[in-house]
Structure 1
């Protein structure tokens, strides 16, 4: 070892950072003199073509070492030299060596001799080796190592749901980096930076446009634009691909049909594909969503999904292109009155009969669970039912149902519940992670894709902490065996430095975040109880049922849960291999965390924990919100250890999350308390001794407002200004013991205005805030669980007889809404 693995930050003032460098910031790391002296004296690059990933690797090495050690190494091309870093392909490495050949995209990293060898099976692999070496150095790891690293699967892609107008569906970090005003953006600087980030985590493909595709992407000017995007990504070893609209031959091409088996349609797609490959000869391929959620597809003409997919696949075959065909096909007009109706059955019902009918360059892209990126789902049984078809797993980095980057949720522990799940195909050990690369069924293709949706925000995802999920996705796609916490800690060291308190604190917060979110949103397998009709963000459990979307809970006054058994329900459990089917068929062997996914039970049914279902709901939601509140104090302990810009940005989000977790907690517990009529044994639900309801205060210019859904307001009521042009005032005389309190005020931040609120104690102003929460979640124009939030003023001295009053000044369509005031002694959450 040149020096110990222990890391020492340089003694310097922490500089402000905006997150734009992500985990590639390469902050200075101190190194003992022996380490400095032992650093290679030059970089040898075995390719001088500036568009080559090997050339880029040399540039990265020079830049990274300069930033980490303040040492500039000269870059030479083509000749091996002593005491150098050699980067290139094994085929171009002519110096004496005895190195085993890695797999495609794999690499060799060897630091044991006088030269550091960074050698790829191909050029892409050489770049990966360079990033691996820089990651070690940036974390202060100067170990002598020699190993070969190979990818888990050939397909390691990301999907971006960017629209031609520059908006991003389910994007929470600003506009598109690829498109604007109906065409490809002129300035692709951010796209180049993104290519660099992706290459550093070994992503080799990107779909640049929304899976709900706009056919105008196929205009000549936009195909030229795709060429420019490809030129930006190519030096980083990332191939681009595009999503296609199935009906393009008719809607865009002028044909009178888009029938998959119509010769004119077949010819049209062949011609379009040839035109694209003339401009982008290394296009990775296509992604198609068809016959789902109202999208056009082969079912329009009574053709099979395989017949639809194969038209694209055959057009791609002369160009070695791949077709990713989404398994997200289901009827969104299901009849809930049918006890056997079940959206979860759709993927297997549609695709299993077609196993073996897809072309060899088709990969069926399967969401990790059978519904839609929920907080917990069982592994999709489709992974066990396609023995003769290539498959890929689809994950979601963008937190569509999981807090939309406004809530800290570290996702790899959730993903691991699926990746590590043993499907027991034919009675043999068959973890999902072995199915997706083709290992289990001996398939030639397969792998990974994730919906990411970066935007122009400097943090890329709208949140500094959310970037851990993108980093971890790349790491898991390369090696799904790696521990989630180990990945996280690498990311923390690269992103925030190596201070042990920083490392321990962010690790503790992140590892607790998914269980906490699951607790205060939806648990026991009952999905995320969000508003599935509107924003997919705040609480609205009633929206799950009484519609055709099929994300049902079947909750009524007696019980809750979907009966998915073969014996008495939808038959979904029978879609798994026999051993797994039996596990879920039997209520006694079904794990508690998926109970309500597979069984409909009374609220008084006792879990393996001994609690009733309803009491578990109450306890879990209170525990989850309490954990979310703890994140604020934990982060504040890092005040002097992280630059102010990132510190303040993360703190604001954690404070918001703490408040919104209370909104979630109260909404869900109140809803099921009202529905079941069963009280909370701890007497918390509906009992809030520290609150003063806004409607019970003395009002002037304010009036009560019945909030819908009722559970998203305390006492189902808020207050709004009587007009949108006149301020309102709400006041109350306090009758509390003298002391120091935290003053928490719940209000609603609506889209369409920036109201101003000012709170006073007697004649003294306590604080002021505006309704302009700068968060990326989908906004709401209503008083509901999406717009509800709170502001807290800490350590306020209050005495009995003090008059507390709040002035709300409306703006635009936002009528300065208020829900309640909570006067909280120290240590009390609510």
Structure 2
């Protein structure tokens, strides 16, 4: 049974830390001249904060007119036509009236902006920031800030590591599906067999209050859109645009209250799956009219729907290639159906041939998205958004930015991150991903021979979320920091990793200096530590096939998935050069193309992604490739030991359940790091025959 009053459940929204008496007084009185469902949510949040800091004997008062308050402190919420404010932006200003009244005004052009302003004010109050004389104008850098759910309608979650879905559940086998998620975890796309075995029916999750709590969490960090179902749309989910549409309606109504649009992943072959047509050809007039009618029906039920998402022609998903059409033709057909209702079509660029021959060194999965989409630049309708993974492969702990961000000048582009830790420890390991995402967003693309950052080249940002039905939402309590940080980064990519960490720790744990210091050190070092004890120098993978947890150096080496390391007795890495390799380096703009193409200039951290290098090749650090592999794996293991030591210093200073659950996960991480260390070092010691200079034990 989930305890919704626990500190694990409340995340960064407990509001317990508003302790300054001068700050408390403002929350006693609220002025708001009008109402709406989003404004009601803003008032609810202020009431929630009020109840946390006062006993029930004190009454919070809400006024329609400012003149009703004669003296004292209060908060005022109002609409504004301030030309400095953008959509969803807000202004927070403190003002004193002749020494009698003090007001904090939150103004915005729209209701969502007021709600975001309320969350920001409470965040400032909880961190005991200076309020007197404050004047803040904060507009979002991007208008599209999404989370993607990979939730299946039966309650399982593809690549989910925090329990079953909070959005959907099986009608008869709900508890069994929860057991499946707890025992299997990270369920893969191919597990459609579960549905056939149980032959169940499906519905919206019965705990609607939890969905509301989740919407509140997302809104608090500025998320304004949620794609509620798995991008791999099975037959059962296809009916969400048909006789299961009321599930979508129920969920959408909850998110609407918090200024969040609902989006739906759809099946490109839906006309066939639903039994209405024999084709899904996007240029067939019957198909075009079918989608127009179906879209009209969906919007008649959910008028505030954000739009659709499609994964096509990838990993067995149907798409326009089936009919000899290109992706612009497929996307534009659906976008045209959405256009009358203001909806957008999000089209994933994760398109590649997943039936490659490992013997053929000329085929390169990394090249697929660029080769598919760059010839189509400028052919997509204005309401089509291409969602591009941050790198060319699949959310590895280190890989280069996708070259598509430096191309596609005439196409809307969304960044796609992965908050759920499919390849970064599956929420058994602490791995704070914000520094990695910051690095990606601030990377140069040199598009059109100019300084052009990735963050400047994208229209919006999306990420596969890491939540589930676990009491702490994210499996590993510290993984909450990734969800919080993603939202803050999506709103403003200029915010620093250090600022995000400081905020999250203050809001979650309070002001204890040792807690702040130790948790900050653990989080800020965790990504690099994870990289050290897993796959080296950008090569990626080396994980167990299927579930992707733990080391298996050759697990994917002879598979059809294009995920190779090409290690032999002399060296390791993929030759992606123009002269002798796959030519992938040529997809980048200069000077990146030359930088990556040359073994001597290629950054060490990506060396094995672009080059097959000798084990004896000397890195810029002065170490050989093989010695780097040995050293980093020993270092990473020792650093996890340090994480445990720092965490153990916090016993008695934080919530006991958070302390014990996190300590348990850190110990699991240590065991896994040791396994990674020993397997990787042993494999390459045996493969290369080269001894460790430091004579440490390698098996």
In the alignment, structure 1 residue 524 sits paired with structure 2 residue 507: no
Within 2, Cα distance between the matches of 1:225 and 1:29?
A: 38
Partner residue in 2 for 1:197: 217
Q: 2:469 aligns with which of 432, 447, 456?
A: 456
Shift of 1:389: 0.4
Within 2, Cα distance between the matches of 1:505 and 1:383?
A: 36
In the alignment, structure 1 residue 556 sits paired with structure 2 residue 545: no
Within 2, Cα distance between the matches of 1:89 and 1:61?
A: 18
TM-score, length-normalised on structure 1?
Answer: 0.77
Contact 2:350 2:389 in 1 (8 A): yes
Within 2, Cα distance between the matches of 1:297 and 1:179?
A: 26
Q: 1:641 aligns with which of 647, 653, 671?
A: 653
Partner residue in 2 for 1:592: 604
Contact 2:17 2:127 in 1 (8 A): no
In the alignment, structure 1 residue 123 sits paired with structure 2 residue 111: yes
Partner residue in 1 for 2:41: 56
Contact 2:156 2:164 in 1 (8 A): yes
Q: Are residues 201 and 636 of structure 1, via their aligned partners in 2, closer, same or farther at CA, if it must alter by over 3 Å?
A: same
Question: Whose radius of gyration is greater, 1 or 2?
Answer: 1
Contact 1:502 1:641 in 2 (8 A): yes
Q: Are residues 60 and 606 of structure 1, via their aligned partners in 2, closer, same or farther at CA, if it must alter by over 3 Å?
A: same
1:362-381 map, 5 Å: 362-381=384-403
Q: Deviations over 1:161-195 (max 9, x none)?
A: 01011100011111111111223234322111110
In the alignment, structure 1 residue 465 sits paired with structure 2 residue 478: yes
Q: Are residues 28 and 511 of structure 1, via their aligned partners in 2, closer, same or farther at CA, if it must alter by over 3 Å?
A: closer
1:158-237 map, 5 Å: 158-181=147-170, 182-217=202-237, 218=239, 220-237=242-259
Partner residue in 1 for 2:558: 546
Contact 1:19 1:646 in 2 (8 A): yes
Shift of 1:428: 1.1
Partner of 1:85, secondary structure, is: strand
In the alignment, structure 1 residue 348 sits paired with structure 2 residue 373: no
Q: 2:323 aligns with which of 301, 310, 334?
A: 301
Within 2, Cα distance between the matches of 1:529 and 1:89?
A: 54
In the alignment, structure 1 residue 400 sits paired with structure 2 residue 419: no
Within 1, Cα distance between the matches of 2:403 and 2:227?
A: 26
Partner residue in 1 for 2:125: 137
Within 2, Cα distance between the matches of 1:340 and 1:606?
A: 27
Partner residue in 2 for 1:103: 86
Contact 1:57 1:87 in 2 (8 A): no
Shift of 1:121: 1.9
Shift of 1:528: 3.9
Q: Deviations over 1:581-630 (max 9, x none)?
A: 11111222111101111111111111011111011000000000100111
Within 2, Cα distance between the matches of 1:595 and 1:64?
A: 50
Partner of 2:268, secondary structure, is: coil
Q: Deviations over 1:303-340 (max 9, x none)?
A: 10111111110110000001110000000112232332
Structure showing the higher strand proportion among its residues: 1
Partner residue in 2 for 1:384: 406
Partner residue in 1 for 2:142: 153
- Return 5+ residue gaps in structure 1 as ranges: 1-14, 92-98, 437-445, 688-830
Contact 1:574 1:581 in 2 (8 A): yes
Within 2, Cα distance between the matches of 1:581 and 1:69?
A: 60
Partner of 1:544, secondary structure, is: coil
Contact 1:62 1:75 in 2 (8 A): no
The total of aligned residue pairs comes to 652
Partner residue in 1 for 2:75: 85
TM-score, length-normalised on structure 2?
Answer: 0.91
Partner of 1:615, secondary structure, is: helix
Contact 1:161 1:168 in 2 (8 A): yes
1:494-509 map, 5 Å: 494-509=507-522
Within 1, Cα distance between the matches of 2:684 and 2:572?
A: 10
Q: Deviations over 1:636-681 (max 9, x none)?
A: 1000110111111111111111111101111111111121122212
Q: 1:44 aligns with which of 31, 37, 55?
A: 31
Within 2, Cα distance between the matches of 1:396 and 1:561?
A: 24
- Return 5+ residue gaps in structure 2 as ranges: 97-101, 171-201
In the alignment, structure 1 residue 334 sits paired with structure 2 residue 319: no
Q: 1:673 aligns with which of 672, 685, 688?
A: 685
Within 1, Cα distance between the matches of 2:216 and 2:5?
A: 22
Q: Deviations over 1:81-112 (max 9, x none)?
A: 55321113226xxxxxxx44411111111124
Partner of 1:19, secondary structure, is: helix
Superposed CA RMSD: 1.7
Q: Of the two structures, which has the highest relative contact order with CA contacts closer than 8 Å and spacing of 6 or more?
A: 2
Contact 1:365 1:394 in 2 (8 A): yes
Q: 1:601 aligns with which of 591, 598, 613?
A: 613
Contact 2:23 2:125 in 1 (8 A): no
Shift of 1:391: 0.4
Contact 1:44 1:58 in 2 (8 A): no
Q: Bigger CA drift: 336-345 or 204-213?
A: 336-345
Partner of 1:118, secondary structure, is: strand
Structure showing the higher helix proportion among its residues: 2
Q: Are residues 157 and 78 of structure 1, via their aligned partners in 2, closer, same or farther at CA, if it must alter by over 3 Å?
A: farther
In the alignment, structure 1 residue 417 sits paired with structure 2 residue 435: no
Partner residue in 2 for 1:657: 669
Within 2, Cα distance between the matches of 1:453 and 1:633?
A: 26
Shift of 1:72: 4.2
Shift of 1:515: 0.6
Within 2, Cα distance between the matches of 1:45 and 1:671?
A: 66
Partner of 1:170, secondary structure, is: coil
Q: Are residues 668 and 46 of structure 1, via their aligned partners in 2, closer, same or farther at CA, if it must alter by over 3 Å?
A: farther
Contact 2:26 2:75 in 1 (8 A): no
Partner residue in 2 for 1:703: none
Shift of 1:258: 1.1
1:788-827 map, 5 Å: none
Partner residue in 2 for 1:74: 61
Within 2, Cα distance between the matches of 1:277 and 1:557?
A: 60
Shift of 1:556: 1.1
Shift of 1:123: 0.6
Within 2, Cα distance between the matches of 1:526 and 1:22?
A: 35
